[in-house]
Amino acid sequence: MKFRVRPALLTAGLLFSLIALISSCSDDPTSPASRSPMEGAGNIDPGAGDEFLLSTVDLGPGFGGSVEVWAYDLTVESDTAIAFDLVIVNGTMGDLPPPLHFVITSIVPNTVTCLNPDGFYRDRKPYFDFSDDMGEDGLLTPGEATGRVHVRFGCPAPMAFSIGFHLVLAEIPRDGVIAGVVFKDLDEDGVYDDGERGIPGVPVELTIALGDSNQTRLGIVGQTDREGRYEFADLPAGVYRITALLDPWVRFTTSNPLLVTLVGLPDGTVSSFLDAHFGVAGIIPPPPPYAVFGPLEVGPASPFGTEVDTTLVIGPPMPPFPPEGDVYYIRVEPPAVMGPYPIWIDEVTVRIDGQGVYKFDCPADSLCNAPADLLLIDPALTGPGEHAISIKVTGNESAFLYVSVEHAGWSEPGSGEERP
């Protein structure tokens, strides 16, 4: 069982193109030690004859074998051009569907150029397309060879040269696949429509929804690709839960999570579901910080005196829940505007359920005023329900402070704002 996020074409060799191009200046691109699956290399010699094996290319474990690339009818067209035909022979155990591209990644020496490619990839690597030369059924079956594709190279004089290349193949059809797109739902109808763009980099999790309780969480998590697509493949029959792991303030237009059932088929394969899409409409406006207790005046100059014993009530969490749970702070502030008499604070103590959450002591023989402060409260003291809170503020006869307990609120993702 495995997770893959991949585009429509299998381009495993693309990652090695730049390496091959750099090494072509000083290393032999035909060296087998430097090759990876889908990669090949070979030498072209004007005197090689009418038929020779250019390279054998390992397609990796997913394809069960390799292919052979043959060259036929090599000719020196002129003092500045060499041409031949390429043929690809399927040596794997299965059919290879189109597309099938032969992509040139390096040429040594670099004075040789490819003259007639069928196109170029975005990295400007030329390629030849064998997709229309794969037989009448459109498949390259085991042992079958493609039709010939004519290739031409320009060179300053007839000379031997070498090329590095990789193959781009269509994916081998798989069973037991759950796939979909996380997309921006512009019309908020819950349907993935043309023109609605995928969202890259979204974590998507697969869990087993029904079965052994000890196996319910697989921990298979990956991210959507640059087109917003994700895929879980090679899954056995079963009921699965697929969850887009976006922040809680994200508003979905589709169900999240999704329940998907895969069943065993008479031919021994497992069904697939390729429309497990998640629509995203926007974000729920997050709440700002707000007080759940106070601000309460405490001190010799306050109506409540120097000590207050009362009750702090914490309500149930309110959605959208922040990822780390509700967060609470104790806030202590001096008066915004001082009166005509100075304020000296000797001691401030705040306890919740008998546990100290704030403490200030003025050094002996000093005159102090407690600074404004904001401290995180242990989450164990802020669960839903009633909590005993005691506050003590001592100082001169003009002294008092404001004490409050605040829910931290939380910011919209990407806003750049941080919690207190």
CATH of residue 60:
2.60.40.290
pLDDT tens-digit series, residues 245-266: 887 778 899 999 999 999 988 8
**416 in a structural domain:** no
End-to-end CA distance of the chain: 44
Q: How confident is the model at residue 419 (pLDDT cuts 50, 70, 90)?
A: very low
- 50 vs 170: which has the higher pLDDT: 50
Q: How high is the pLDDT of residue 342?
A: 79
Indicate whether 26 and 151 sit together in one domain. Answer: yes
190 plus 73 within the same structural domain: no
Q: Of the residues 283, 300, 320, which one is the last residue of a structural domain?
A: 283
Domain containing 182 equals 178-283
Band of residue 174 on the pLDDT scale cut at 50, 70, 90: low
Looking at the structure, do residues 199 and 246 belong to the same domain, yes or no? yes
Q: Do both 18 and 114 map to the same domain?
A: yes
2 domain residue, yes or no: no
Q: Over the range 188-198, which residues count as b (16 or more CB within 10 Å of their CB) and which as e?
A: eeeebeeebeb
pLDDT digits (tens, 9 = 90+) for 335-380: 875 556 778 888 999 999 999 999 999 888 778 877 788 888 888 8
The domain tally of the chain equals: 3
- Mean pLDDT across the stretch 48-65? 82
Tokens coding 124: 């400007």
More confident call, 44 vs 80: 44
Please give the model's pTM, rounded to 2 decimal places. Answer: 0.39
CB-based contacts of 229: which residues, under 8 Å, 6+ apart? 5, 7, 179, 180, 181, 198
Indicate whether 89 belongs to any domain: yes
Mean pLDDT of the chain: 79
Query: Helix, strand, or coil here: 290?
Result: strand
- List the Cα angle 143/147/148 in 5-degree steps: 120
Last residue of a domain, one of 283, 300, 329: 283
Model confidence pLDDT, tens digit, residues 91-138? 988 888 888 999 999 999 988 989 999 888 766 788 999 988 987 788
pLDDT of 325 > 80? The answer is no
User: Do residues 152 and 82 touch, judged by C-beta distance below 8 A?
Assistant: yes
The DSSP code sequence of 202-253 is -EEEEEESSS-GGGS---EEEE--TTSEEEEESPPSEEEEEEE---TTEEES
Residues 260, 129, single domain; the answer is no
Are both 246 and 370 inside the same structural domain? Answer: no
* Separation CA 360–CA 373 (nearest Å): 10
Same domain, 58 and 153: yes
Contact 407, 292 (CB under 8 A): yes
The verdict on 140 and 23 lying in the same domain is yes
The CATH number given to whatever domain includes residue 342 is 2.60.120
CATH number at 254 reads 2.60.40.10
Confidence band (pLDDT; 50, 70, 90) for 406?
A: confident
Output b/e per residue, 218-235; b: 16+ Cβ within 10 A: bebebebbebbbbbbbeb
Q: Do 49 and 73 fall within a single domain?
A: yes
pLDDT at 411: 41
Q: What percent of the chain clears pLDDT 70, i.e. is strictly above it?
A: 78
Distance CA 410, CA 286 (A): 6
Cβ neighbour number for residue 42 with a 10 Å cutoff: 19
pLDDT of 148: 95
